[in-house]
Structure 1
């Protein structure tokens, strides 16, 4: 089915309008996609039995939809309910001359909408493929695919990426031109970088089974 191209700018809604630190906010779709593509764990916020619950889970996406993975036992993944999903990456601590001016350099995305429980078998397989490939490209083709029983035991949610916003903070402390600059204290940025380590084989793995190339080549590379 033909779909119209997506606009580069996300729509402004009451939930995506930036009210604080507007200079850090963005409604540019490419920035939303960049934040989502930099990670694979998000936090799903939902109200269950009248109480807020926030659940960490893995995700994958296509251009229009975010797919969230879970178990059928998870009440928060019932589907057809309003949710808020966030994904955040910490890039550095911003250490100023005063504690008040301390902060964090970060990239964060927030998606609002009604999560839909995926029932169609083909869409469920495709959503799980996207989640798997998003976390470890090449793994869907390498590993065994889900069985019917495993698919039945898995809940997959689909959430439109239409209503979303981004916030990004970069740069140095903001007190370099204020009175605290005369204190003679060090100030600056302490970067945070996450690297993939060396693959560790399962102790039950028989000898002679090598680490597949799509996993081995990630060792030492940056995550996020």
Structure 2
């Protein structure tokens, strides 16, 4: 397992014991996500915007319109990408020691455009497979015009770090006799009841992303 940060800005200084720099940990957290937040500077201001994301190999991918401010700004400069999952509330015997269980990844670098038509089609296929495994075989594929109007960007995972907390309460010895419930309340992202469009209710339900609604260790 890689225990060294890939760059000074990825080094986890606050609670370093929670840091993970190995690709397996980073990939697992990214693969469980459908959404990321991207922080970037543009026109004298700082922004942080959410967008859909997926991983293919050693890159994180996003997509957007050709003329969007987000894609233009990301191609022009550096950014930071954050992915996080909230897994539980950690309720302690003292107010100070309350915490949360979570998995997070931060990626630093600069996005590059995926312009080749074949590569764009493969990337969009990987995106839909991430959202709903097996759905590519059931729906119409993107047309050349649709692909031409879509900008696909990717950022390498070479400069990334994960931070994880997945354990119980860390109360002080002096607080152990306080008569109050203490422990972890797990939190999970759960799908709701499917709502079919008119005329589509007779077909099988789509597959869900891997790990959705499953408890994390």
Stretch deviating more after TM superposition (179-188 or 153-162)? 179-188
Which of 142, 162, 167 is matched with 1:166 structurally? 162
Q: Which residue of 1 aligns with 2:104?
A: 108
CA RMSD of aligned residues (A): 2.2
| Structure 1 runs of 4+ with >6 Å offset | none
Residues 53 and 76 in structure 1, CA contact (< 8 A), matched pair in contact too: no
Looking at structure 2, the residues matched to 42 and 101 of structure 1 have their Cα atoms a distance apart, in angstroms, of: 28
Q: Which residue of 1 aligns with 2:57?
A: 63
Q: Which residue of 1 aligns with 2:31?
A: 37
Residues 36 and 87 in structure 1, CA contact (< 8 A), matched pair in contact too: yes
What SS does the aligned partner of 2:28 have?
helix
Looking at structure 2, the residues matched to 191 and 92 of structure 1 have their Cα atoms a distance apart, in angstroms, of: 4
What SS does the aligned partner of 1:123 have?
helix
Q: Which residue of 2 aligns with 1:206?
A: 199
CA distances 1:124-166 after superposition (whole Å, capped 9, x unpaired): 1111111111111112222111122222222211111111000
Residues 133 and 207 in structure 2, CA contact (< 8 A), matched pair in contact too: no
Q: Which residue of 1 aligns with 2:89?
A: 93
What SS does the aligned partner of 2:158 have?
coil
- Kindly tell me: are residues 208 and 136 of structure 1, through their superposed partners in 2, closer, same or farther at Cα, counting changes over 3 Å? closer
Matched, 1:12 2:9: no
Stretch deviating more after TM superposition (192-201 or 153-162)? 192-201
Looking at structure 2, the residues matched to 124 and 55 of structure 1 have their Cα atoms a distance apart, in angstroms, of: 23
Looking at structure 2, the residues matched to 112 and 216 of structure 1 have their Cα atoms a distance apart, in angstroms, of: 32
State the 1:86 CA deviation: 1.1
Looking at structure 2, the residues matched to 13 and 26 of structure 1 have their Cα atoms a distance apart, in angstroms, of: 13
Residues 58 and 157 in structure 2, CA contact (< 8 A), matched pair in contact too: yes
Is there any run of 5+ residues in structure 1 with no aligned partner, and where? 1-7
Looking at structure 1, the residues matched to 104 and 7 of structure 2 have their Cα atoms a distance apart, in angstroms, of: 18
TM-score for the superposition, normalised by structure 1: 0.86
Looking at structure 2, the residues matched to 49 and 73 of structure 1 have their Cα atoms a distance apart, in angstroms, of: 16
Residues 11 and 162 in structure 1, CA contact (< 8 A), matched pair in contact too: no
Looking at structure 1, the residues matched to 200 and 213 of structure 2 have their Cα atoms a distance apart, in angstroms, of: 29
